[in-house]
Amino acid sequence: MKMGNNKTLDIKPAQRLDTVQEYYFSRKLKEVAQLVAKGNDIISLAIGSPDLPPSANTIARLCEVAQREDAHGYQPTKGTPELLKAMAAYYGRWYGVDVNPQSEVLPLIGSKEGILHVTLAFANVGDQVLVPNPGYPTYTSLSKLLGVEVLNYNLREENQWQPDFDELESMDLSRVKLLWTNYPHMPTGGKPMMKTYERLVDFARKHNIVVVNDNPYSLILNSEPMSIMQVDGAKDCCIELNSLSKSHNMPGWRVGMCVSNATWVQWILKVKSNIDSGTFRGIQLAAAEALTGNDTAWHTIYNKEVYLRRRTIAEKIMKALRCTFDPQQTGLFLWGRIPDNMADAEQLTEQLLHHHGVFVTPGFVFGSNGKRYIRISLCAKEERMEEALQRIVGNK
């Protein structure tokens, strides 16, 4: 068969692609891969992907279910009864919050999916959403892709990375549908505070705005796990996203959840049911095992021991770079302010990557209020973190 000349069709991408860039880590990891291909040994302290395993019982449950002939069909989009009960029990155990497993919790294929589904369920094209600066970039990018306008609200170090409610009250909120919040805060490690949650609930009621708290780090180096759902009446005006990715070392399993009132959960399910067909049964039942099995506290104890050791090394790296940091911060990262004589964080991170072979994250990725900060991930083996420290100390 004679083939014609290959020629790309003159097709234009959807205009929504003009509103976003490729995710920073997607772009930067390509550069890192090129450096590695040239023989460079790059130590990555940038990505928040836990390198620790789930519990042995969690893995065993997955393998057990995968052996069944009847386990491979489509699953209920709203989740198996076992997983729904486990998620509700998780909220009871760690937060003391009563959640109806039949109507007030919905499994998600990770928190990113939840951010998408919540935005689709509540915000129309042209509506506005409040997004923290600094904050998780996906709050911004998914909003833009969906034609929703982003309004940033400031988080600042001098305010312990908590919202400035006077500033929020001074904004034009007439078109705002959602407010995104996230404690323990990523990237800054700002601690959850009950007074902040209480004020967020009051703010939601006063302005008829849905507050969405993204809460995947509450069990990571945090002695007092908190949930916005602990505030009286929070279910009536708030949604909380949670995840097993960080707390149970299951980032690649893609298991998350949202908790809210029955009506809003049903709205989110209506979106979800038109997008996916439910998670593999083995993953759902293994997640239920991780949440409520005999070794359910194993993850928290094991993670704390390992992350504390890694955190100590990360603090030494920050000090070697002459960066300042709050030793009380929580979560999976260490956030530090760069020296005043440096132009911006990217100057430091590029120097670390190309002169020391150490990849850390510049804070501008998370918003303009992060431009003088860097973030070090605790998701690397201790020996690699020690090697990164020695490279920095020995090659100044």
Three-class SS state of 22: coil
Q: How many CB atoms lie within 10 A of CB 368?
A: 12
Q: Compute CA distances 114 → 111, 272, 306, whole Å.
A: 5, 9, 29
pLDDT reported for residue 182 = 96
pLDDT reported for residue 2 = 55
Domain assignments of the chain as residue spans, ordered by start: 38-53+298-364+372-394, 74-292
Q: Given 3.90.1150.10, 1.10.260.40, 2.170.140.10, 3.20.20.10, which CATH number is that of 38-53+298-364+372-394?
A: 3.90.1150.10
pLDDT reported for residue 195 = 97
Instruction: Cite the DSSP H helix spans in the chain.
Output: 24-37, 56-66, 81-95, 111-122, 137-145, 165-169, 194-207, 262-272, 281-292, 298-320, 345-351, 382-394
Q: How many CB atoms lie within 10 A of CB 272?
A: 25
pLDDT tens column, 233-265: 999 999 999 999 999 999 999 999 999 999 999
Phi, psi of 373 (to 5 degrees): -130, 160
Could you tell me which CATH class the domain 74-292 is placed in? alpha beta
Q: How many CB atoms lie within 10 A of CB 122?
A: 20
pLDDT reported for residue 396 = 52
pLDDT tens column, 129-165: 999 999 999 999 999 999 999 999 999 999 999 999 9
Residue 88: partners with Cβ closer than 8 Å, 6 or more residues away: 99, 100, 101, 104, 105
- What CA–CA distance (Å, rounded) separates 302 from 55? 9
**pLDDT < 70 positions in the chain:** 1-8, 22-23, 395-396
pLDDT reported for residue 200 = 98
Phi, psi of 133 (to 5 degrees): -130, 105
